[in-house]
Amino acid sequence: MREAVREREFREFAEARQGQLRRSAYLLCGDWHQAQDLTQTTLMKLYASWGRVRRDGNVEAYARTILTRAFIDQYRKRSWREEPVDEVPEPASVEPVTPELRLVMQAALMELPPRYRAVLVLRFWEDWSVEQTAEALRVTPGTVKSQSARGLVRLRGLVEGLAGETSGR
């Protein structure tokens, strides 16, 4: 009985929020299929701790924290598994084929290191405070401030550079 209630509550939350979670995941990873996987991983972990999370309250923030940590862990594992190759493949996403603003923005965002990207998404997309972001990423508030400032500077530089490239064609 208690398990059924628990599952029903979780299903309601998951159905209502998985779209938003997927969009946040897409901003982090830049790929819809990977975003879907991240969303599923997030909801799976959320359900495993659903009782405690419900008691503590603020399920939304917990879900986004799981999502961001899962993204960073996944990226870290993937970078460990990377093997050196003889020829570096051409990065298709860095050079946009069409001079669209969206492609320039997305390419610039994907150029940022994953941690910077996570800080920018949490701070400016989710509207989280420095303290909330620091807790989610398990870093100090000072680190969040510095990474946020550096991320903004780099993003601006990348957008200007990419925009110059596309307009120069």
Partner 1 sequence: MSDGYGEHGQRGRYEEEGGSVRGAFEVILDGSREPVFPSVTDAAVVGGRRIRRRRTAVSGAAGVLVAAVLAAGVVAALPGGAGPDRSSVPMAPSSGRPSGSPSTSPSDSASGSPTGTAGPVAPRPSTVPSKQTAVPTPSALAPSGSVP
Separation of first and last alpha carbons in the chain: 65
Q: How many residues does the chain have?
A: 169
Contacts with partner 1, residue ranges (CB under 8 A): 7, 10-11, 14-15, 18, 22-23, 26-27, 32-33, 36, 39-40, 43-48, 50, 100-102, 105-106, 109, 120-121, 123-125, 149, 152, 155-156, 159
The structure tokens listed for 6 are 């628990």
Q: How far apart are CA 154 and CA 167, in angstroms?
A: 20
Nearer to partner 1, 32 or 83 (CB): 32
Nearer to partner 1, 33 or 82 (CB): 33
Q: Say which residues have a Cβ less than 8 Å from residue 3's Cβ, sequence separation at least 6.
A: none
Nearer to partner 1, 30 or 139 (CB): 30
Cβ 98 to partner 1, closest distance in Å?
11
